[in-house]
A = this chain, B = another copy of it.
């Protein structure tokens, strides 16, 4: 509904001043808005007050007021003439990749979405390097400027492409992890990576985007997703918001973000527990080392005929294959297991692999695509260490999921929906992920891939203040549990380092080619 929108335009038609009604310009506008909005607390920034006498007279005291309305108090962001279109930008602030969406706020139309590299990569691909750099003289300032400057360039490109004035971009909502958020805002990340791991801020108040140098309307409001701590960031809160899991009280749901860290949330509208990262080998490490980012010519789906052992694959853009991405790899290992080409330890089975199995410098390789068919002119192979690495990663994931479910005395069967967030998660075939024992053996329809939940969650804020308040409520609801890598965890982890698991009864649906 229009009146639920966090940022919106409202008609403000005033009687022009007269000797009988000499109320001042600002107070006249406030009076009109109080009547329309039925709110007591309406605030106008001083910089707008300075322009008010001109803006009101230019429009004969009949204007659109652009307001920020999070609930209790209303802030007037600007005054526009009739029929003005206003815009918002939602941002997925990744440490590697930044995604920006341009949204027309009048009708919530998504006009464009662009993706670009986080320019801070120049300082360091990993966050710790950047945090270290931030301690140097002007380091934090430099890191912030790199990012803000690039964002300003991209925003300017967007405005030119869509023929929009910068002053009509009136809001920006940003979801990112705790470290990225701090670097973005120019807040020191120094204590984020040092025990006891304290951010400067958990819950950010909305500020003017111009306060950090963003070049939009000078009073455009900047909303940054809150965090629960150094290792549970706003990207996760955006994910929970986008999933809708905290918006209902019936079903217990699980959300897994398969990204840089293993981040898991379990709960519903009544309670949420979450855990994240730094808990044994992370999934992506194993996957990324041998794979490629999804892109043209990259294998994203694999099927192996258990009878003929013929390998079918699909590449993005149907181009000759040049590599394999994470989802393709999970497919491949799952299919090789079903076809009996690897055993439950993930080791190659020579009699099933045949002449596709080769050895170089004492390491076994399996030829996925022979050089005659590959786009590189070379064999595309997967090594035994690659598979071992994937198995460690999937075992870590399954152990984390088991641990968090155990913590609240539930079993996987109690989970109504199992949401997979992250772009990577969208490509994964849940059937294959179950087969290798990465995720529990639930009915396949319970798995829901959500794609980029950071940009989705951030964009949702523009559609309703309900989501804004939900965001704050989610942050306060979460009980963060520290995953202790203790003996129990290591036992669970060891048991999960098999395909699908040492306890086959946990994966009844997983059958090899020779099982009925």
Interface residues of A (CB under 8 A from B): 17-19, 21-27, 43-44, 46, 49-50, 52-54, 186-188, 190-191, 195-203, 205, 207, 211, 227, 229-230, 482
Contacts and interface: CB of A to CB of B under 8 A. Distances in A.
A27 to B, nearest CB: 4
B52 A200 contact: yes
A191 B53 contact: yes
Contact of A198 (B17, B46, B196): B17
Given A22-B229, A24-B200, A43-B205, 19 more contacts: A17-B191, A17-B196, A21-B196, A22-B198, A23-B198, A24-B198, A24-B199, A25-B198, A26-B200, A26-B202, A26-B203, A27-B201, A27-B202, A46-B207, A46-B211, A49-B187, A49-B201, A50-B186, A50-B200
A229 B461 CA distance: 40
Contact of A53 (B18, B53, B200): B200
A188 B365 CA distance: 78
Given A24-B199, A24-B202, A26-B202, A50 B187 contact: yes
Contact of A18 (B22, B52, B54, B196): B196
Nearest 6 CB-CB pairings of A with B: A24-B202, A24-B199, A27-B202, A26-B201, A17-B198, A19-B196
Contacts of A19: 195-197, 482
Contacts of A229: 22, 24
A183 to B, nearest CB: 13
A201 B24 contact: yes
B22 A201 contact: no
Nearest to A52: B200
Contacts of A46: 205, 207, 211
Nearest to A40: B72
Contact of A202 (B23, B187, B188, B227): B23
Contacts of A52: 200
A43 B191 CA distance: 23
> What copy number does this chain have within its complex?
2
A44 B229 CA distance: 19
A227 B207 CA distance: 29
26 contacts: A17-B191, A17-B198, A18-B196, A19-B195, A19-B197, A19-B482, A21-B196, A22-B196, A22-B197, A22-B230, A24-B198, A24-B201, A24-B202, A25-B200, A26-B200, A26-B202, A27-B203, A44-B205, A46-B205, A46-B211, A49-B187, A50-B186, A50-B188, A50-B200, A53-B190, A53-B191
Nearest to A212: B46
Nearest to A178: B24
A356 B195 CA distance: 93
A470 B18 CA distance: 28
A54 to B, nearest CB: 8
Q: Which of A43, A201, A205, A230 has the most chain B CB atoms inside 10 A of its CB?
A: A201
A22 B231 CA distance: 11
A368 to B, nearest CB: 45
Contacts of A201: 24-27, 49
A198 B22 CA distance: 6
A43 B227 CA distance: 18
Contacts of A200: 24-26, 49-50, 52-53
Contacts of A49: 187, 200-201
Contacts of A44: 205
Contacts of A198: 17, 22-25, 53
A28 to B, nearest CB: 8
A292 to B, nearest CB: 37
A23 B482 CA distance: 14
A471 to B, nearest CB: 15
A21 B482 CA distance: 12
Contacts of A187: 49-50, 53
